[in-house]
Amino acid sequence: MVIGMETLWTATSIDNNYKELNKDLDVDILIIGGGIAGLSIAYNLLDSRKKVVLLEANRVGSGVTSRTTGKITYLQGHYFDIYKRYGRYVAKKYLNSQKEAIQMLKRIIEDNKIKCDLAKVSSYLFIDDIKYLDRIKEEEDILKDIGCKVEKAKNFPNKKKFSYGIKVEDTYTFHPLKYLYGLKKIINKKIPIYEKSRVLNIEKKDNYYLATCNNGVIKAKKIIVASHYPYFIKPFFMPLKVTLEKSYISAFADKSYNYSAISIDKKSTSIRFYKDGDINYKIYLYGSCNTASEGNINERFLKLKREVNNYNYLWSNIDIMTGDFLPFMGEIADNLYIATGYNTWGMTNGVLAGKVISDLVMGYCNTYEELFNPKRKIYSNMLLAMVSSFKSYTTELIFHKKKWYNGKVSFSKVNGKDVAIYIDNIGRRHIVYSKCPHLKCNLVFNEEEKTWDCPCHGSRFDIDGYVISGPSNYNIVCNEDKCYNFSSDSYGEKQV
């Protein structure tokens, strides 16, 4: 059994070679983020004759993409929502975009012979709880109406029955990290990728940007932010536009089957299989929730453990929800582009971002430019985002839920700063500043993965306070005497 930030993907792939930025650069295009979106954009710019560079704060693939379930499918359970809001034309266009993305991904894998265990599978959408019958039938009807070949199904290939289900073909699964590592090798032949190189700040000058990193300054005519949740507030005001969905995932030895599935009832499960050597793993995701209503993380993991009995890997992951179930891909300010908000479907949408964003920065038209325009207004979501953040901010502020932690976590002050102290199994004290440097939300301890998680905007820190994923760009490191002035770490200046 693996405890901590390890996932099935990180445990079954390796990439030892990387280089860090150690100089200033002057480029045409800077891409920030080495997940599936950032690498896809770089891939599409390989023949652009532009001077391009990609910076990754940690290691390529170390973000959300290393914690996905890696299903490559257009059966996503949201077509009826899109249809309700925007009508049939948009729902159909979104379906086409997802099918195109699957073809693009397949072509990249085949053209470059990337060994990433791509497998063709049937995709199922199902419910166990009959209360959701209308919901799944609406989805089935709209899919048929927009030209999707859908079959009714009564059970999975392993004969396990569900209350109601549909299935589609021409969908896939793969190993997301093997794919990214393969893609990185190809990109690196023409475009430098610098890892452990975090962009701390971008500053607009007359006709260029200056991006300050922990180990160099980059002058760039255009910047593409593919960092999942951008670390900056202005421009774009992301915290007002999105909510976060968190899910809990397990992988355990089981028989091998050729399908993937998601349910659209209250349990919100997801299933797929992966074979590593002699072991067949079933990957089972259970209990997705908005991070603002997540509450006790340990309780969530306990529910997952009860569902699966035994497991080899256990992890959680967060994705960004846009409210209208369409991603954000496009220009948010002069020569500043963003690719994010994949509503838990980043394997297709990350690949698609590669094409959409590269077309836009090169000045070409793209058929999805309007549909995914990040400047479109989604008012209902703005309200939901504000309420969610406020709720998680105040709930944690008021209760500091000590009872969640079985006495292992306590809260105190060091030099007037709020700190949290976690005592590990051998009695060592781990002290951190207990507010997220991004927007000062109170952090929640995730005992299973030994991380401090922000319920407002999704930043994560390890038990000693080092940032694992953003939007925070800064650590929350403290010792018994003081919380560090952040200029003393490698991530630049920021006072707590």
Interface ranges with ligand FAD (CB under 6 A): 32-38, 55-58, 62-65, 68-71, 198-199, 226-228, 231, 247, 249, 285, 317-319, 340, 342, 344-348, 350, 470, 473
| Smallest distance from ligand FAD to CB 29, Å | 15
Q: Could you tell me which residues come within 8 angstroms of residue 40 by beta carbon, excluding any fewer than 6 positions away? A: 183, 350, 351, 352, 353, 354, 355
Q: What is the CA radius of gyration of the chain?
A: 22
Strand partners, 27: 220
Q: Nearer to ligand FAD by C-beta: 214 or 366?
A: 214
Q: How far apart are CA 337 and CA 416, in angstroms?
A: 40
| Smallest distance from ligand FAD to CB 424, Å | 26
Q: Nearer to ligand FAD by C-beta: 38 or 420?
A: 38
CB 366 within 8 A of CB 360: yes
| Smallest distance from ligand FAD to CB 414, Å | 27
Q: How far apart are CA 178 and CA 14, in angstroms?
A: 8
Q: Nearer to ligand FAD by C-beta: 137 or 204?
A: 204
| Smallest distance from ligand FAD to CB 479, Å | 25
Q: How far apart are CA 89 and CA 146, in angstroms?
A: 8
Q: How far apart are CA 20 and CA 59, in angstroms?
A: 10
| Smallest distance from ligand FAD to CB 478, Å | 22
| Smallest distance from ligand FAD to CB 50, Å | 19
Paired tokens of 295:
């509450």
DSSP strands (E only) in 16-155: 25-32, 52-55, 71-72, 119-127, 151-155
From 361, 353, 365, select the one nearest 336 (Cα to Cα): 361
Q: Nearer to ligand FAD by C-beta: 186 or 285?
A: 285
Q: Nearer to ligand FAD by C-beta: 7 or 419?
A: 7
| Smallest distance from ligand FAD to CB 172, Å | 10
| Strands 460-462 and 467-469, bridge-based pairing | antiparallel
Q: Nearer to ligand FAD by C-beta: 166 or 262?
A: 262
Q: Nearer to ligand FAD by C-beta: 146 or 249?
A: 249
Distances from the Cα of 427 to the Cα of 24, 149, 155, 301, 403, angstroms: 44, 58, 49, 23, 19
